[in-house]
Structure formats: C-alpha cells, structure tokens
Amino acid sequence: MNAKKAIILDRDGTLNEDLGYEYKIKDFELLPGVIEGLNLLKDKYIFFIITNQSGIGKGFYSVDDFWQYTNHLTEYLKKNNIYIEQVYFCPHTKEENCECRKPNTIFVNEIQKAYRIDLKKSWVIGDHPSDVMLGINSGTKTIYLITGHGKKHLNDLEKQEINPTYIAKDFLSAAKFIKSHPEEI
Ligand SMILES: [Mg+2]
Ligand SMILES: [Zn+2]
C-alpha cells in the first residue's frame, strides 16, 4: 500500500491575508488562488496547517481567538469542498525556545506517525524562511511563496542560503508546480 502524501500549509500569508497578528474575523481575507490551488491538489494529498502564533505568547490575543479565526478559515474552505485534516499551532514567543515553533519538526513528526505520511513525497508551503526550514528539517519538498511576508523575507532566504524546491508568486502557481512535478505525473 502506498503511504499517504501531505501538504503542510502555513496559515497567515499563505492561505489568508496577513496584516500582522491575524485574529479578527472581520479582517479575514483568503488570498487569491487558494481555493483553486487546493482543489487541484486535494485528490492526492491530505492537508494540514502548522502555524506559529507568537501573538498568543505576547498576549495580543487568546487561544480562543486563535481558534475562532482558524475555524472560520477551515469552515470557509469546507464550504468549497476543501478539508483541512488537522491544525497545529505554536503559541509561544521565539524567546521561549519551545520545541514546537517552526522550524522545529515536532508537529510534522506527529502528523507522520498519526497518518503514516511519506514525507519525501510531501510538501511544506509557506511565506517565511522558517516554513522552508521546517520542510528541509522534516525531509519534505518545499515551496516558498512571495505572497504574505514572502517578498519582505526573500533576502533572508538568500542570505541564509535556504533553498526551497520552488519559489512561487502565488498559491495557484505553487499548486500547479506540485501537480507538474515529475513524481506526480
Ligand atoms: Mg506565514
Ligand atoms: Zn511552541
């Protein structure tokens, strides 16, 4: 039996617009191409979200606020026939040096064990160098998005010599790249 494949998604700046510490539903806005892109991929991959939410640790919003916003997002996707299997979040600040903040791989390892995922055939998609590092540290392929904070951090990516499998201008291009990847054809 073939092991399952996953797409591990960042949340802010990847799926929804990131105004900085997103938690208000009134600010919720899905990024262009996300529905279309996820629809292209949903037959072959299971979707997960892993998100760093240091705004909780900093006291800007609560865990409840986080879930309200996230549930709003996943419900919206569900209405478009897209299912997020599980959401994992790190509520800590960087200074807390926790084990769950991306690019630490604890949540990916959990996913791998619980769902028997083939990480080599899976992808991490995100708009921050730490998303790419998460994929590299976990042995997945990676896509760096220029949406969200992606443009701003592109320099860091280059300076730190972090090499994603692909750099995409938006979510739909990312999905099309994955679909056309040699292993997928
Ligand atoms: Mg992000
Ligand atoms: Zn954490």
Give the pLDDT of residue 1. 54
Contact 86, 104 (CB under 8 A): no
Residue 185 has pLDDT above 60, yes or no: no
Give the pLDDT of residue 63. 98
CA–centroid distance, residue 96 to ligand 2 (Å)? 8
pLDDT digits (tens, 9 = 90+) for 104-154: 999 999 999 999 999 999 999 999 999 999 999 999 999 999 987 888 999
CA–centroid distance, residue 45 to ligand 2 (Å)? 26
- The number of the ligand nearest the C-alpha atom of 49 reads 1
pLDDT digits (tens, 9 = 90+) for 22-60: 999 999 999 999 999 999 999 999 999 999 999 999 999
Residue 1 lies in a domain: no
Range of the structural domain that residue 146 is part of = 6-184
Average pLDDT of the residues in 71-95: 98
Domain count, the chain: 1
Residue 120 lies in a domain: yes
- Token pair in block for residue 87: 């959401």
b/e per residue 112-151 (b: at least 16 CB within 10 A): beebebebebbbbbbbbbbbbbbbbebebbbbbbbbbbbe
Residue 27 lies in a domain: yes
Question: Ligand 2 being an ion, which residues bring their Cβ within 5 A of it?
Answer: 90, 92, 98, 100-101
- The number of the ligand nearest the C-alpha atom of 53 reads 2
Average pLDDT of the residues in 69-90: 98
Give the pLDDT of residue 3. 78
pLDDT digits (tens, 9 = 90+) for 167-180: 999 999 999 999 99
Looking at per-residue pLDDT, the higher value among 73 and 149 belongs to: 73
Average pLDDT of the residues in 157-167: 94
- The number of the ligand nearest the C-alpha atom of 132 reads 1
Q: What are the catalytic residues?
A: 10, 12
Handedness of CA 156, 134, 185, 32 (dihedral sign): negative
Cα–Cα distance between 126 and 10 in angstroms, integer?
5
Residue 9 has pLDDT above 60, yes or no: yes
Residue 182 has pLDDT above 90, yes or no: no
Of 178, 172, 169, give the one whose Cα is nearest residue 37.
Answer: 172
Cα–Cα distance between 150 and 27 in angstroms, integer?
19
Give the pLDDT of residue 163. 96
CA–centroid distance, residue 18 to ligand 1 (Å)? 7
Cross-strand partners of 167: 144
Residue 47 lies in a domain: yes
Q: β-strands 84-90, 166-168: how paired?
A: unpaired
Residue 12: CATH number of its domain: 3.40.50.1000
